[in-house]
Amino acid sequence: MSEEVNAVRPIRALLADDHAVVRAGIRQFLEHNGKIQVVAEADDGETAKVLIQKHQPDVAVLDIQMPGASGIEVTRWVRSNFPKTGVLVLTAYDDDPYIMAVLQAGANGYVLKTASPSEIIQAVHDVHNGKSVLDASVTEKVIAQLYRQKTEKPVEQLTDREIEVLNLTAKGYTNKAIGAQLAISDRTVQGHLAHIFAKLHANSRTEAVMRGVSMGLVTSDSSGIYGDQ
């Protein structure tokens, strides 16, 4: 019964962008088919925090450059206080420092505002479903940056089990689903992820998956980071 209710309940999203016209446009196409409901809007980072705390949305859609607190700061705050809220950064910036800072802060997705409405809608759904999403145009940059970091920081080899967990993470599986696939407990999955993060010098699932891709541990056809279904 609960699964049926979840299936029809729209995804509750929050929009944070300091341009009202941009927010209005995004809201219009997100809510068009009724599967996403925008529960609140914010025009600065501090207001976004207040509204996220009040509404606890399924997905927070954040710009990077905002008054009060940046999207990076808000992302870090969300990860610390509301881990069940997914974070999708929707921005015009494709510079390496912004991309890496967002991923290190724990964002689940990074999409450029040049993406089509259907791509942004899909990104919201993917983040809600636990997948990591990167705009195709920035994926190559991220892999190149992670490869440089890999050569600068030696990484400890992953065990076979950790590689299995990493690949299932790349497919967007939750800890519970990974545990079911591998016949292990959620707590054991969490332990494996902690070891993976430490070995790969990663601060988020997205960053760990991207680093796994750059090292050849995760193949592109098994990863949701490209937005493929």
- 151 with 118, same domain: the answer is no
Q: Has residue 70 been placed in a domain? A: yes
Whether 228 is covered by a domain: the verdict is: no
**What global pTM score does this model have?**
0.65
Encode pLDDT of 149-185 as tens digits: 555 556 688 999 999 999 898 877 889 999 999 999 9
Residue ending a domain, among 78, 105, 131, is 131
Same domain membership, residue 147 and residue 107 = no
Is residue 157 assigned to a domain? yes
Query: 170 with 195, same domain?
Result: yes
**Could you tell me which residues come within 8 angstroms of residue 132 by beta carbon, excluding any fewer than 6 positions away?**
108, 109, 170, 172, 205, 206, 209, 210, 224, 225
Residue 74 lies in a domain: yes
The residues, ordered by sequence, that sit 6+ positions from 227 with a Cβ below 8 Å of its Cβ are: 119, 122, 123, 126, 133, 134, 135, 136
Question: Are both 102 and 180 inside the same structural domain?
Answer: no
| pLDDT at position 5 | 45
The answer as to whether 16 is a domain residue is: yes
pLDDT at 10: 94
Give me the pLDDT at residue 86, please. Answer: 95
CATH number, domain containing residue 25: 3.40.50.2300
Q: Of 193, 203, 108, 105, whose CA–CA distance to 149 is shortest?
A: 203
Q: Which residues of 153-185 are buried (b: 16+ CB within 10 A; e: fewer)?
A: eeeeebeeebbbbbbbbbbbbebebbbeebebe
The reply to whether 31 and 91 lie within a common domain is yes
55 and 164 share a domain?
no
In a domain, 159, yes or no: yes
CATH number of 194's domain: 1.10.10.10
Candidates 124, 90, 96, 94; CA nearest to 110 is: 90
Select from 98, 131, 164 the last residue of a domain: 131
Whether residue 136 is contained in a domain is answered as no
Joined tokens for residue 167: 């690949």
Q: Pull the structure tokens for residue 184.
A: 């292990």
Structural domain boundaries, residue 107: 2-131
Q: 148 with 127, same domain?
A: no
Which positions of the chain have pLDDT values less than 70? 1-7, 139-155, 214, 219-229
95 and 146 together in one domain: no
Q: Which of 107, 131, 155 represents a domain boundary (last residue)?
A: 131
What confidence score (pLDDT) does residue 227 get?
38
Q: Are residues 106 and 182 in the same domain?
A: no
**Do 109 and 77 lie in a common domain?**
yes
**Residue 149 lies inside a defined structural domain of this protein:** yes
The pLDDT of residue 173 is: 83
- pLDDT at 125 (0 to 100): 95
**Overall domain count for the chain:** 2
19 & 115 share domain: yes
Q: Are residues 147 and 207 in the same domain?
A: yes
